[in-house]
Structure 1
Amino acid sequence: MTATKKKTRVVRPTAATSSTLRLDTGEVAHVGIDVHKASYHVAVVTDLRGLVASWAQPASPELLVACLDPIRTQVARVVYEAGPTGFALVRRLRAAGYAAEVIAPSKIPTMPGPEAKSDRLDCRKLAGFAQKGLLQPVRVPDEQQEADRQVVRLREQLARKLRVIQQQIKALLLQHGVAEPAGLTHWTATAVDALRRLELAAELRFCLDVMLDERQHAVEQVARATRRLEELAKADRHRETASTLRTVPGVGPITAMTSRVELHDPARFRDGGQVARMIGLAPQVLQGGPTRREGRRLKSGNARLRTVLIEAAWRWVAGDVAAKARYRRLVASTGNGKKAIAGMARRLAILLWRLSLSGVPYRAAAWRPGPAPATPERHRQRPRPLPERRVERSGTTPSQRGSASEVTACSPRRAVTRVKRGRPSFAIADPTLCPEHE
Structure 2
Amino acid sequence: MKCVQSNELDFSGQNIYVGIDVHLKSWSVAILSEHSVLKRFSQSPEPEALHKYLVNNYPGANYYSVYEAGFCGFWIHEKLMDLGITNIVVNPADVPTMGKEKLRKTDAVDCNKLARELRSGSLEGIYVPKADVLEMRSLIRMRNLIVKDSTRAKNRIKSLLRFHGVEIPKEFTRCSIGCWSKRFLSWLQALELSTEYGKKTLELHLEQFIRLRKMLLQETRAIREISRSTVRQTYTVADICSGYRCYNCRYPDGRD
Question: What is the TM-score normalised by the length of structure 2?
Answer: 0.78
Cα distance 1:240–1:138, how it changes in 2: closer, same or farther (>3 A)? Answer: closer
Report deviation, 1:241: 7.0
- Select the structure of larger CA radius of gyration: 1
Look up the SS of the partner of 1:41 in the other structure: strand
For residues 126-158 of structure 1, give each alpha carbon's deviation from its aligned partner in whole angstroms, at most 9, with x where no partner exists.
Answer: 222222333332222222222333222222222
- Find 2:240's aligned residue among 261, 286, 290: 261
For residues 257-313 of structure 1, give each alpha carbon's deviation from its aligned partner in whole angstroms, at most 9, with x where no partner exists.
Answer: xx45135xxxxxxxxxxxxxxxxxxxxxxxxxxxxxxxxxxxxxxxx33xx28x99x
Contact 2:18–2:29 (CA<8 Å) still a contact in 1? yes
- Find 2:151's aligned residue among 156, 159, 163: 163
**Counterparts in 2 of 1:296-311, with a 5 A limit?**
304-305=243-244, 308=245
Cα distance 1:164–1:107, how it changes in 2: closer, same or farther (>3 A)? Answer: farther
2:202 corresponds in structure 1 to 208
- Find 1:78's aligned residue among 54, 65, 85: 65
2:130 corresponds in structure 1 to 142
Structure-1 separation of matches of 2:23 and 2:42: 11
1:38 corresponds in structure 2 to 25
**Counterparts in 2 of 1:124-135, with a 5 A limit?**
124-135=112-123
Structure-2 separation of matches of 1:176 and 1:115: 55
Look up the SS of the partner of 2:43 in the other structure: strand
Cα distance 1:225–1:89, how it changes in 2: closer, same or farther (>3 A)? Answer: same
Report deviation, 1:208: 1.6
Q: Which amino acid aligns with 2:52?
A: A
1:13 corresponds in structure 2 to none
Report deviation, 1:361: 4.7
**Counterparts in 2 of 1:158-307, with a 5 A limit?**
158-182=146-170, 183=172, 185=175, 186-200=179-193, 201-238=195-232, 259-263=238-242, 304-305=243-244
Structure 2, unmatched stretches of 5+, are 1-8
Contact 1:80–1:101 (CA<8 Å) still a contact in 2? yes
Contact 1:196–1:209 (CA<8 Å) still a contact in 2? yes
For residues 100-132 of structure 1, give each alpha carbon's deviation from its aligned partner in whole angstroms, at most 9, with x where no partner exists.
Answer: 111123433456796233322221222222223
Cα distance 1:203–1:135, how it changes in 2: closer, same or farther (>3 A)? Answer: farther
Report deviation, 1:37: 2.2
2:52 corresponds in structure 1 to 66
Structure-1 separation of matches of 2:52 and 2:200: 58
Report deviation, 1:224: 0.7
Cα distance 1:104–1:73, how it changes in 2: closer, same or farther (>3 A)? Answer: farther
Contact 1:72–1:98 (CA<8 Å) still a contact in 2? no
Identity %: 25
Cα distance 1:205–1:67, how it changes in 2: closer, same or farther (>3 A)? Answer: same
Q: Which amino acid aligns with 1:193?
A: S
Structure-2 separation of matches of 1:153 and 1:72: 43
Question: What is the TM-score normalised by the length of structure 1?
Answer: 0.48
Contact 1:181–1:194 (CA<8 Å) still a contact in 2? no
Cα distance 1:109–1:215, how it changes in 2: closer, same or farther (>3 A)? Answer: farther
Report deviation, 1:79: 0.7
Aligned residues: 240
Root-mean-square deviation over aligned CA pairs: 3.3
Structure 1, unmatched stretches of 5+, are 1-21, 243-255, 264-303, 313-351, 364-438
Contact 1:162–1:219 (CA<8 Å) still a contact in 2? yes
